[in-house]
Amino acid sequence: MALDWQGKTAIVTGSTSGIGKAVAEKLAAHGMRTVVHGRNREAGETTAAGIRAAGGEALFVQADLLDPEAPGKLVDTAVSAWGRVDCIVNNAALVCNKPIADIRHEDWDRLFFVNLKTPFFLVQRALPWLAQNKGTVVNVGSINGTLNKPDNVIYDAIKASLNHMTRGLALDLRDRGIRVNTLMPGGVATPLIDQWFHQMYDDPAVAQRLADEEKAKPFMGAPEQIADAVLYLCGGGASWINGAVIPIDGGYNIGC
């Protein structure tokens, strides 16, 4: 099957920075019309404008994924603009770095909603178009879905659940020609790392110094490396990959 992305439409959540931005730019550079999503309008419009300036097609949708109406807004905008949805990239995620004693109900609720529940309902809302176009879903998980880290119990548990949801969706949707896979990045030099450290340390200068040191460590990937894998999974060359949960971490999970 040809590696042809031309004229297809992708929705990439959390695509105003980091991995999501790299994915949106990569897909658009290969001919996919791309819905850029985020909460920050200025960052989103800048990302979409940059894609258009490079010759791609993109528009920005501002939506809070804690809003149950967000999946409909994203899908309806894509269909209104381009008449189809071929690929969903569930990239957006929240983090929670807290000792067990400090975790609150709302921490669980927020991460569950954004990191697991909204990805499901985005796929559900897009089903008619994904089925029509034999579409794909790529969930951006985390190596934390298989390797636990200190003070990350909520994030780790929900990322593990995303892996299992991926297999369930793939099983239920394979007869409709829809493929669903998850990529599990290890450390990637993105603003998410800064967010983690600023949650853990009260002193902003200390938090940023430690975040910068973390991003300079071995086995720290680049957003573009994750974007390359997303591009492949969205293309025809990956037509026989379905229900896969794939580490993408430079071999970090093998042992260190």
Instruction: State the catalytic residues.
Output: 155
Residue corresponding to tokens 């309008």: 41
Long-range contacts, 228-231 (Cβ 8 Å, 24+)? 228/26, 229/183, 230/23, 230/26, 230/27, 230/89, 230/138, 230/140, 230/183, 231/5, 231/23, 231/26, 231/27, 231/30
Count of beta carbons in the 10 Å neighbourhood of residue 230? 27
Residues contacting residue 239 through CB under 8 Å, at least 6 positions apart: 1, 179
Residues contacting residue 127 through CB under 8 Å, at least 6 positions apart: 173, 176, 178
Nearest Cα residue to 147 out of 253, 256, 251: 253
d(CA 6, CA 85): 13
**Residue 193 · residue 214 · CB < 8 Å:** yes
